[in-house]
């Protein structure tokens, strides 16, 4: 097969572009690794369990936990029960039933003996109509908002309207927490009065043991797809996010578990209901608003593993999740483009935003084009086997180095996977994911971007994910094959 | 157009980059595995030492021992864990048996050595241990550490000093409470609570009155937390003078003196909503049925929280007289006022069934 010399030359120059891109992205990632290393060492040093300064209950701010639920009949009770077991002095659980078509509402009402309650509802954020509010005579901590279906963002806004306390915590109905999860994620608010949001590390519950709705034993998944995602999450959270936090440039707080200062979110207009990635968009918008108003603020990231979530173990769910995440990313960035290179944008406007745009949002397109160019050049005999292998070797090597760095960060911090066998397994995954999985993820993300560009989505809907719930501890409580999709976890 | 660079050169660079990063990855993996082994060994030794000394100190708590084994340096971290944990346990503070063990093993100089040579975590544990030991000889050393850049080191040192000699420490610690915004409020409250009101009230009360309006709200809260009586004259003085509304709000939240209510009533019409809200709540807490008329207009306040706290205050003033509250609700022309009273009545009804 032969191609015109101009095209060939163009392709070769394009390859140089890809090489430059490849060098840049790896340099930035290594830089983030470096920052993360210091951040995590400092965090571990200052939050050692042996001398943790106990907080008087009076000084721990009360928190409203908002649980948006749509057709969660099978899990919602276990979720609320596990939330009620959290070790935190003052909190309430606000379940928002977003027009479920199953018995979600009835299940919670029956379980907690709720009664309809004449609450003077404040509609500070516009939402679909709220039909009823329920409260519990037996447990003052549980309330339920029953509203017409409007999507997850709409449900969150209704939850914020109902929340009593100055901080609200968003928890996905399928998340597994630890007893001290809330205390840990609220800690940044105690340490810095300018804190407006905080998120934590999301880990993978596949393969773990769960008892009474709380995590009891950590292990790696047996199946390949969740195992690869474990490595992905380690990388994404331990340097993809932790690296940005000290620079106050964190653009993502996972919608699965995060705490926000309520008044700031309301001032920013609440969650946007017409978006797929409402959680990320909210954080980007908070940055934008605070920068525009020239207010002192911080958005922090807690490196503790405080929330555990099930990841897709089948390709279809994974595809749909990644497509949604990429759409969400594009929505968040392009919807708040004023943040980029804002005069007082700081690290978030001048570094994090351009990085996310260039490497995370558009990056998959460049990566896929790179693969295509290599194939075309190879078919034309313009790439030798030696060159192909050498560049693949360098690319895979750098990918593995970043993954092993994440393992290193994990080792110096929480060592949740202490057995040498577990570490070797993760190392093997770090190598193998470069042969197929990584390329597939790039392709999924490109499809997500195309869907965003083509406006193929209609109104943002609840995501669906097939769940195996093999970690679940309560027979008869297996999780139904649907639920809210998580939020961007892999950076 | 020529290819921009010699292709063999590119391949060679790529190949060597691959070699280098692969070598680095393998080296890092080896480091991870070695670190894990070292950490596990250290952990095993630490657990062994902790268990040994916990048992020995536990026995000493019940009956002071005639002798004690030597404390080797490798056992120090385990010993400190056991020592601090037992002191925090009920009956652990000021235990003669544990003090006897500490004396026999020469604990004070060992802990001071740990302050010089230990890791961050071990230094903090040593500071806490010195506080439990109440080692007066270490007081000056702790004074230096109160000014440390790390909030953990400094607040731990302050707490240890307060344990050793509260009367002497308070002059050093209170100015730090004023100055250091990186000390966690809960940690300060804990320290003041341990020291007790008698040691703190005079110094902290004076600090509130001399502090600026940015710092004073925190100090008022601490003062009221350890002694409502000590806070009363200070709050009275603040409410009698014009001050920042956040300081006024804080005083309204913690006030407990009936006599100060005359200073609170005018605040029901304050332009800032949070002052009106706390004023209504304070009147609900301390006032009488005569105050209901002054509170009633606030049921129609534009701010939900003002309406809510006012309705709760009225419910409290009516001493749970549901019929009276219902009459009050029905007399309201404002829909929001009626709704909020309905909610408070429903909350009360729910509360009665709980």
pLDDT at A150 over 70: yes
Closest-CA distance of chain A to residue B151, Å = 9
In chain A, pLDDT over 90 holds for what percent of residues?
43
Place of tokens 């934008």: A288
Surface of A (92-121) touching B: CB under 8 A: 115, 117-120
For residue B4, name the pLDDT band (cuts at 50, 70, 90).
Answer: very low
Per residue in A170-207, pLDDT tens?
988 778 888 889 988 998 998 888 999 999 888 899 98
Closest CA to B204 of B231, B232, B241: B231
How many Cα neighbours within 13 Å face the side chain of B264? Answer: 30
Long-range contacts of A440-446 (CB under 8 A, 24+ apart): A441/A322, A441/A364, A441/A490, A442/A364, A442/A367, A442/A368, A442/A371, A443/A364, A443/A368, A444/A318, A444/A319, A444/A322, A444/A323, A444/A326, A445/A322, A445/A323, A445/A325, A445/A326, A445/A364, A446/A326, A446/A364, A446/A365, A446/A368
Torsion on CA atoms B147, B151, B155, B156, rounded to nearest 10: -100
Which B-chain residues 7-26 have CB contacts (< 8 A) with chain A?
Answer: 7, 10-12, 14-15, 17-22, 24-25
The span from the CA of B235 to the CA of B231, in Å, is 6
Tell how strand A195-204 and strand A142-147 pair up.
unpaired
Name the residue with higher pLDDT: A491 or B278: B278
pLDDT band per the 50, 70, 90 thresholds, residue B289: confident
Residue B283 shares a structural domain with residue B246? no
Q: List pLDDT tens digits, range A439-449.
A: 999 999 999 99
Residue B319 has pLDDT above 50, yes or no: yes
Q: Which domain holds residue B265?
A: 258-353
Residues B242 and B225 in one domain: yes
* Shortest CA gap A333–chain B (Å): 32
Mutation pick from A51, A296, A416 vs chain B, by most beta carbons of B within 10 Å, is A51
Domain shared by B328 and B273, yes or no: yes
Segment A387-406 shows an average pLDDT of 87
- pLDDT at position B243 is 85
pLDDT in tens, A336-359: 999 999 988 999 999 999 999 998
Q: Choose the weakest-confidence range: A145-159, A203-217, B112-126.
A: A203-217
Question: B193-224 b/e with 16+ CB inside 10 Å = b?
Answer: eebebebbbebbbebbeebeeebbbbbbbbbb
Contacts of B340 in chain A (CB under 8 A): 120
Residue B144 belongs to a domain? no
**Structure token pair of residue A312:** 């897709």
**Shared-domain flag, residues B218 and B305:** no
Shared domain check, B339 and B263: yes
How many angstroms separate the CA atoms of A477 and A309, rounded? 16
Q: How many domains does chain B have?
A: 2
The closest of A241, A222, A220 to A231, measured between CA atoms, is A220
The three-class DSSP label of residue B105 is helix
Looking at the structure, give the CATH architecture of the domain made up of residues A60-352. Alpha-Beta Complex (3.90)
Distances A352 to A247, A310, A345 between C-alpha atoms, Å: 9, 28, 10
Q: What is the pLDDT of residue B2?
A: 38
Asked whether residue B80 is assigned to any structural domain, the reply reads no
pLDDT for A14-28, tens place per residue?
777 887 888 888 888
Q: Examine the domain organization and report whether B274 and B325 are in the same domain.
A: yes
What residues does each domain of chain A span?
A: 5-22+359-454, 60-352
Instruction: List all residues of chain B from 138 to 167 with a beta carbon under 8 Å from chain A.
Output: 150-152, 155-156
Residues 6+ apart with CB under 8 A from B44: none
d(CA A112, CA A86): 17
| Exposure on the CB side of residue B276, measured as CA atoms within 13 A | 23
pLDDT at B212 over 90: no
Highest mean pLDDT among A150-164, A233-247, B187-201, B235-249 belongs to: A150-164
Compute CA distances A234 → A39, A284, A323, A445, A490, whole Å: 15, 23, 20, 19, 9
| Better-predicted residue by pLDDT, A416 or B279 | B279
Mean pLDDT of chain B: 89
Is the pLDDT at A473 greater than 60? The verdict is no
> What number of other Cβ atoms are within 10 A of residue A262's Cβ?
21
What CATH number has the domain bearing residue B311?
1.25.10.10
Instruction: Take residue A296 and report the two structure tokens written for it.
Output: 């002192």
- B212 domain residue, yes or no: yes
Boundary-marking domain end, from B253, B269, B285: B253
List, for residues A364-394, the tens digit of each pLDDT value: 998 888 888 888 877 877 777 888 888 888 8
d(CA B105, CA A72) in angstroms, rounded, equals: 61
* Nearest Cα to Cα of residue A486 among A376, A295, A328: A328
Most confident option among A51-55, A85-89, A283-287: A283-287
């Amino acid at each position: 097969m032969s191609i015109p010399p101009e095209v060939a030359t163009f392709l070769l120059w394009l390859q140089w572009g890809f090489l430059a891109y490849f060098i840049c992205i790896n340099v930035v990632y290594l830089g983030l690794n470096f920052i993360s290393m210091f951040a995590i060492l400092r965090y571990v040093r200052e939050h050692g369990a042996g001398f943790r300064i106990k907080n008087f209950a009076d000084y721990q701010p009360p928190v409203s936990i908002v649980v948006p639920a749509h057709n969660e009949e099978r899990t919602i009770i276990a979720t609320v029960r596990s939330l009620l077991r959290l070790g935190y002095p003052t909190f309430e659980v606000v379940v928002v039933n977003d027009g479920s078509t199953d018995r979600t509402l009835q299940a919670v009402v029956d379980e907690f003996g709720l009664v309809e309650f004449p609450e003077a509802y404040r509609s500070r954020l516009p939402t679909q109509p709220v039909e009823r509010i329920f409260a519990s005579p037996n447990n003052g901590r549980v309330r339920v908002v029953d509203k017409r279906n409007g999507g997850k963002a709409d449900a969150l806004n209704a939850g914020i309207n109902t929340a009593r306390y100055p901080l609200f915590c968003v928890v996905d109905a399928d998340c597994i927490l630890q007893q001290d999860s809330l205390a840990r994620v609220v800690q940044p608010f105690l340490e810095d009065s300018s804190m407006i949001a905080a998120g934590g590390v999301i880990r993978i519950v596949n393969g773990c043991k769960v008892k009474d709705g709380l995590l009891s034993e950590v292990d790696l998944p047996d199946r390949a797809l969740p195992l690869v995602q474990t490595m992905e999450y380690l990388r994404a959270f331990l340097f993809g996010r932790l690296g940005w936090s000290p620079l106050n440039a964190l653009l993502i707080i996972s919608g699965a578990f995060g705490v926000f200062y309520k008044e700031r979110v309301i001032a920013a207009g609440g969650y946007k209901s017409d978006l797929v990635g409402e959680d990320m968009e909210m954080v980007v918008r908070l940055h934008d608003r605070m920068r525009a108003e020239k207010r002192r603020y911080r958005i922090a990231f807690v490196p503790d593993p405080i929330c555990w979530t099930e990841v897709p173990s089948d390709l279809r769910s994974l595809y749909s999740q990644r497509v949604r995440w990429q759409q969400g990313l594009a929505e968040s960035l392009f919807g708040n483009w004023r943040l980029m290179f804002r005069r007082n944008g700081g690290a978030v406007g001048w570094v994090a935003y351009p990085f996310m745009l260039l490497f995370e949002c558009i990056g998959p397109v460049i990566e896929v084009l790179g693969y295509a160019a290599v194939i075309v050049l190879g078919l034309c005999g313009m790439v030798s086997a030696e060159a192909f292998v050498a560049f693949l070797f360098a690319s895979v090597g750098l990918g593995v180095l970043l993954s092993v760095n994440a393992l290193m960060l994990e080792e110096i911090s929480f060592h949740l996977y202490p057995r040498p066998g577990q570490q070797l397994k993760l190392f093997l995954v770090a190598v193998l994911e470069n042969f197929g999985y990584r390329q597939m993820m790039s392709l999924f993300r490109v499809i997500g971007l195309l869907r965003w560009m083509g406006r193929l989505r209609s109104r943002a809907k609840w995501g669906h994910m097939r769940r195996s719930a093999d970690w679940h501890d309560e027979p008869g409580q297996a999780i139904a094959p649907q639920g809210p999709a998580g939020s961007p976890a892999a950076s | 157009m020529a290819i921009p660079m010699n292709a063999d050169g590119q391949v060679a660079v790529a190949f060597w980059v691959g070699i280098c990063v692969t070598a680095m990855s393998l080296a890092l993996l080896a480091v991870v595995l070695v670190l894990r082994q070292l950490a596990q060994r250290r952990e095993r030794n630490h657990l062994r030492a902790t268990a040994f000394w916990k048992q020995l100190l536990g026995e000493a708590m019940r009956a002071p021992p005639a002798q004690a084994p030597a404390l080797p340096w490798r056992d120090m971290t385990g010993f400190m864990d056991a020592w601090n944990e037992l002191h925090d346990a009920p009956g652990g503070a000021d235990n003669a048996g544990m003090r006897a063990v500490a004396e026999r093993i020469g604990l004070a100089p060992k802990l001071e050595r740990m302050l010089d040579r230990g890791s961050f975590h071990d230094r903090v544990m040593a500071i806490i241990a010195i506080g439990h030991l109440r080692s007066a000889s270490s007081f000056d050393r702790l004074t230096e550490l109160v000014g440390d850049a790390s909030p953990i080191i400094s607040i731990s040192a302050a707490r240890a000093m307060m344990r050793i000699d509260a009367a002497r420490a308070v002059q050093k610690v209170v100015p730090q409470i004023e100055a250091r915004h990186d000390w966690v409020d809960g940690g300060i409250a804990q320290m003041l609570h341990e020291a007790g009101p008698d040691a703190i009230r005079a110094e902290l009360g004076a600090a509130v009155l001399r502090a600026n309006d940015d710092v004073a709200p925190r100090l008022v809260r601490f003062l009221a937390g350890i002694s409502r009586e000590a806070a009363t004259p200070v709050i009275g003085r603040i409410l009698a003078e014009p001050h920042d509304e956040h300081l006024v709000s804080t005083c309204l939240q913690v006030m407990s003196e009936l006599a100060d209510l005359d200073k609170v009533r005018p605040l029901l019409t304050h332009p800032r909503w949070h002052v009106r809200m706390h004023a209504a709540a304070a009147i609900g807490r301390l006032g009488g049925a005569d105050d209901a008329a002054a509170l009633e207009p606030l049921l129609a306040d534009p701010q939900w929280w003002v309406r809510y706290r006012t309705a709760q205050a009225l419910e409290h003033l009516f001493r749970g007289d549901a019929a009276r509250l219902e009459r009050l609700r029905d007399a309201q022309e404002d829909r929001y006022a009626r709704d909020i009273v309905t909610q408070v009545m429903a909350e009360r009804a729910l509360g009665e069934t709980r």
